[in-house]
Amino acid sequence: MYNILIVDDEPMICKGISSILRQSDIQIGELFTAGNGFEALDYFRLEKIDLIITDIQMEHMNGIELMETIFVENSAVPIIVLSAHGEFAYAQKAMKFGAKEYIVKPVMPKQLIQIVGGLLRHKESELRTASDAAFNRKFYLEETNPKQHMLLNELITEGLGESEVEALFQSLGLKMEGPCFCLFTIQLHLKNAGKTDKDIQSLRDRNLLKYACYNVVEETISSWDKLLFYSPNGALTVVLQLSAKELDHSMRSSLLTTIGQQLHAHLLEYLNVQCTIGISTIKEGLYSWAELYKEAISALKMTEVHHDHHVFLAEDVSDKKSTEDHNGDIQEARGYIDKHFSKKGMKLQDIADAVHLSPNYLSYLFKKVLNITIWDYLTKQRMEAGRRLLLTTDMRRYEIADEIGYESPEHFSKMFKKYFGYNLSDLKK
């Protein structure tokens, strides 16, 4: 049974989509509807959601902002975007950020059922096809460009002058205009990997598996301008090209984390390959790649301290603190939530900025130190405050909802029932 979340600020659209899905042959468990992105995040964090359908143009938090937040917290949940004809540019951006499909309004029932059913049932994908094809190839070295891989590795490990870099790219027939770049180092762990889950011992099997990983990574980041090449010691390197327009948003580290998490999840899902990923900062110019590589390698070494984490950003490296050393940061984050939990639409980025950590790293550390997720803790603070106000004041439901950070009294009531197991009206009986 599948749980689906529908997000649209027009109630009739939510109702119509719910009705279409209920009447289909899709095995529906729960259908949740949210009138804006903030309400959607509450459902997403409290319920097991298998698929999300969201409008793009909404007040307070639009669909793109909602997707950015969701992908940071769980990039595995498929998202379908609803788009008006005039919002094609938004839809393109949504697809680049990981949306699986977009549907142009008005919604056609047959099309909706086909897309939703396909995404929910479809465990095999283009990534699976790509990886299976790799396993069936005998000599992958003939199909790649060893010289290109070698020269690009020379560029990132040793560095070249600006004029030399331009000459190198001309000789390779490559064009990377930037202006900015970010580098991902993906360290593949090929022991106990692949379809047999056995130690990969032969050179041929390791090479085939590495080539399969190459295919999965390439497909995962297919919508981005990038270069992908083999690096020493069983690693893959991705250089991501970012335009000025793509840099013009406030969740830059969240975007990089999302891509890293998708890479990790796809390699594990489709090839049973564990990996750790180091992600550099963003810098201008082709000549910056050597510095970006050093940053990514430094981030990758964070796994020596945090063995149960997989994606690391260079901005979190600073001093390679252990989990215990970060206690002060986590207590500061908890204090920030205690003070600001009534802020409507609080984002993970807001809390991360307050303690100078990336959202990805903060989420990991918060759960590690306090044994509770950030959002469970935020919900707890809101619910306890709401119950206290109900018991000790004469405030109305809508006043309390507003006081503790909810957009509507109806949504507050739903969250209260979900959290405590009884209705608001039962509290004073």
Provide the angle, in degrees to the nearest 10, between the axes of the packed helices 63-73 and 37-46.
20
Both tokens of 85, joined, read 């004809």
Lowest mean pLDDT among 74-78, 165-169, 193-197, 205-209: 193-197
Task: Give domain 2-121's CATH superfamily.
Answer: Response regulator (3.40.50.2300)
User: Beta strands 274-279 and 180-189: pairing type?
Assistant: antiparallel
Q: Which two tokens stand for residue 347?
A: 């984002």
| Greatest mean pLDDT among 28-42, 61-75, 381-395 | 381-395
Structure tokens at 218: 């390439």
Task: Tell me the C-alpha distance between 395 and 413, whole Å.
Answer: 14
Beta strand 2-7 pairing with 28-34: parallel
276-303 per-position pLDDT tens digit:
999 999 998 888 899 999 999 999 998 8
Structure tokens of 94? 């949504």
Residue in this structure with the two tokens 């009986």, named with its chain if needed: 429
Beta bridge partners of 236: 186, 230
The pTM of the full predicted model, rounded to 2 decimals, is 0.74
Write out the CATH class of domain 126-316. Answer: alpha beta
77, containing H or E segment: none
Q: What is the pLDDT of residue 173?
A: 82
Whether pLDDT at 332 is above 90? yes
- pLDDT digit string, tens, across residues 196-247: 656 666 777 778 888 889 999 998 888 788 999 999 888 999 999 987 666 6
Check if the beta carbon of residue 68 is closer than 8 Å to that of residue 56: no
Region 57-68: mean pLDDT is 77
User: Tokens 């699976």 — which residue?
Assistant: 128
Question: Using 50, 70 and 90 to split pLDDT, how confident is the model at 124?
Answer: very low
Structural domain spans, the chain = 2-121, 126-316, 325-429
How many degrees, rounded to 5, is the angle at CA 70 between CA 58 and CA 77? 110
Q: What ranges in 53-181 are assigned the alpha helix state H?
A: 63-73, 88-96, 109-121, 126-136, 146-158, 162-172
Residue for token pair 């289909």:
24
Does residue 208 contact residue 140 with C-beta atoms inside 8 Å? yes
Domain 325-429 is found in CATH 2.30.31.70: no
Sequence-ordered list of residues with C-beta below 8 angstroms from that of 368, at least 6 positions apart, any chain: 323
Say if 2-121 and 126-316 have the same CATH topology: no
